Amino acid sequence: MNFPAIIVNFKAYESALGAQAHTLAQLHDQVAATSHVTLGIAVSALDLATVANLVNLPVFIQHVDPVEYGARTGHIPPAAAKAAGAFGTLLNHAEHRIPMDVLEKTIALCKQVGLFTLVCAESPEKIQQILPLQPDAIAYEPPELIGGSVSVSQAQPDVIQKVVEIAGSIPLLVGAGVKSEQDTKISIQLGAKGVLLASGVTLSPDPSGVLMSLIQGMKS
């Protein structure tokens, strides 16, 4: 995956599921076509196959389980996600935490099938725990700032520098409260490789305008 990158998590917002997810994904595709920044989207398993066929973007599934094909009712095998068109998966989001032993198995299985892993971490200490698992990228998201009006780049710029150093060669993205050109500008200046956000785009009346503003911040 090329960096810098903006990853938009569609979550389970009504404005980003079903037909509306398809429209929103195509909007991202149109913006990406004129940008030097990688735009990726994390979609519901319900929309994965359709969206992956609609766009020329890295499409992430919002979660997979550490299982192979078989009697696994309700589980999502990484191999099935890959076959449905997923480029990667989002793991350990604040809204879907995974125990470390489960996370380790999941990352290992994703590596076997070629699924890119973007793992969320809520603290510098958690990043240090995750590093030995060798995910493809890490997203630092303090849970108290997710969905709020204050971004992590504004509230914790010193911590961003710290977690970038901790992550080392593993690309680190910044999440939680990100929604503006200034947020992406600060994040990149502090060494991050991109941002992860959701409501700033998915709930905006002008998602295209928000995306263009975020991209502009990465050019500054």
Judged against a pLDDT cut of 90, whether residue 125 lies above it is answered with yes
Identify the pLDDT of residue 182.
85
* Catalytic member of 93, 96, 104, 122: 93
Identify the pLDDT of residue 180.
79
Identify the pLDDT of residue 148.
56
Tokens at 170, concatenated: 């593993």
Judged against a pLDDT cut of 60, whether residue 129 lies above it is answered with yes
Domains of the chain: 5-219 (3.20.20.70)
User: Once rounded to an integer, what is the mean pLDDT over residues 18-38?
Assistant: 96
Question: DSSP class of residue 62?
Answer: S
Judged against a pLDDT cut of 90, whether residue 155 lies above it is answered with no
* Catalytic member of 141, 144, 165, 181: 141
User: Once rounded to an integer, what is the mean pLDDT over residues 125-141?
Assistant: 96
pTM of the full structure = 0.94
Q: Specify which residues 5 forms β-bridges with.
A: 38, 194
Judged against a pLDDT cut of 80, whether residue 157 lies above it is answered with no
Identify the pLDDT of residue 153.
61
Identify the pLDDT of residue 144.
66
User: Once rounded to an integer, what is the mean pLDDT over residues 105-129?
Assistant: 97
Closest CA to 118 of 203, 176, 33, 60: 60
Q: Specify which residues 59 forms β-bridges with.
A: 41
- The question of whether 93 is a catalytic residue gets the answer yes
User: Once rounded to an integer, what is the mean pLDDT over residues 93-118?
Assistant: 97
Tokens at 158, concatenated: 């010193």
Going by pLDDT thresholds of 50, 70 and 90, the confidence category of residue 73 is very high
**Would you call 165 helix, strand, or coil by DSSP?**
helix
Going by pLDDT thresholds of 50, 70 and 90, the confidence category of residue 147 is low
Rounded Cα–Cα distance for residues 124 and 144 (Å): 15
